[in-house]
Chains A and B, each alone.
Chain A
Amino acid sequence: MIKSLKARAHEFSATEKQLQQLNSGPFEAGSLDSFQQHLQRTNQYPLKPSKLEIFQVNVGYMCNQVCKHCHVDAGPDRKEIMTQETMQQCINVIAANNIHTLDLTGGAPEMNPNFRWFVENAVAAGIKEVIVRSNLTIIRANPKYYDLPEFFAKHNVRVVSSLPYYKRGKTDRQRGDGVFDKSIEALQMLNTVGYAKPESGLTLDLVYNPSGAFLPGDQAQLEMEFKSTLLEDFDIRFNSLFAITNLPISRFLDYLIASDNYEDYMEKLVSSFNPAAVDGVMCKNTISIDWKGYMYDCDFNQMLELKTAGKGSQHISEFDLEGLEKRNIIVNNHCFGCTAGAGSSCQGTVS
């Protein structure tokens, strides 16, 4: 298993090096205009948030997988884990401000020892929707996780699972050997407890992201193919497919450079800039929280250590809804990933 950039002391484990990279080359030479310049041209700068609806909490960077494209640089060697105290602060803020969705991500969020406590207490506090972003293999990684499908079902957690492709080869090349077979087993377990059955009310969505330096195609068409192939080959059902673009940060940025695809990929993202997609980007209605309780405009900005611009409201302990809603969203050239073509967010395409 490969190690995280951090464990390898890779230059991109320093976020300023990533930002430097994202502003050099064609952007520095002037052959490509920056994301900010694009927004200025379409009168969309500064980017302002709309109503806050989603609290996306990253409960830690620990993961049982080391995916080649991971923007979190997650892996078994990452030890950053959110404490129960910070989770409680999140629940208090969500309940006090009528935020309807708690979106749990990581790493593998289920590996946080307080994960179940967090879900149970969030549901008890009346939060309308709890999402877990599961890598699926965690459910088959260790007997202590085998009952996760029942736990998710009991608390009506919406499961959003990564599955880059409906065939073994492409999936395993991106996510590691054996990942596809374990993912299929996990999906079958989720179906068995009722997920994606119309009468159950239990939602299982899949996330598709391209396994390489290309953009995702039409989401509806991909969903149709995933649905028919998974049903035919494995008797698996799911609700929706979200097609997500790989953003050029962290391990995916490293891959782009190492494979000599960086400039072409950035050119493709920039030339696919869609002003209509800007209105639907996730940072408009989402706040991202890191394991220490700091706040960001999105999970990608979290990984680049770009905290929210709202002065006095950068940590969950000093949460100020009014201040946050007045802030300017921090943008940089990685944001082209969310505005290319039909756009991309944690809920798939945006336009």
Chain B
Amino acid sequence: MSSKSYYDPEDLKNFGKITEWNENLGNKFFDWYGDVFQPGALTAREKSLIALAVSHAVQCPYCIDAYTVDTMEKGCNEEEMMEAVHVASAIRGGATLVHGTQMMKKAKKLSM
């Protein structure tokens, strides 16, 4: 049971066991999760690419593994996958940079 690493790929396989400690909430999560990824106004393929991008934004190694496989299964190619990651990166980068406006405003207020 001892592990020298915070992340172990084997843990992902046990995700379903989350319900063991709270069946009610766990089951609600998995039911909802399953419904979220059903084809709707967006195709299952589009949802998978969004999930891949978000996995990078939240920097979750489990999710990155899972949605790399999932996008490949859904027929996405490398160009599409990398573009999705750049979208996530652009939003993350932009989210940092846009705060620069607050800095500018504050600095201008403080300056003579």
Contact = CB atoms under 8 A, between A and B. Distances in A.
Interface of A: 165, 167, 169-170, 208, 210, 212, 214-218, 221-222, 225, 267
Contacts, number: 31
A96 to B, nearest CB: 43
A218 B77 contact: no
Interface of B is mostly: helix
A13 to B, nearest CB: 30
B43 interface: yes
Contacts of B43: 221
Contacts of A210: 72-73
B45 A215 contact: no
Interface of A is mostly: loop
A169 B72 contact: no
Interface residues of B, number: 11
Nearest to B43: A221
Interface of B: 13, 43-45, 69, 72-75, 77-78
19 contacts: A165-B75, A165-B77, A167-B77, A169-B78, A210-B73, A214-B69, A214-B72, A214-B73, A217-B44, A217-B45, A217-B73, A217-B74, A218-B74, A221-B43, A221-B44, A221-B45, A221-B74, A222-B75, A225-B75
Contacts of A214: 69, 72-73
Contact of A170 (B73, B74, B77): B77
B44 A212 contact: no
Given A169-B77, A215-B73, A217-B75, 5 more contacts: A210-B72, A216-B73, A225-B45, A225-B75, A267-B13
A225 B77 CA distance: 12
Of the candidates B13, B43, B75, B78, the one having the most CB atoms from chain A within 10 angstroms of its own CB is B75
Contacts of A225: 45, 75
A216 B73 CA distance: 5
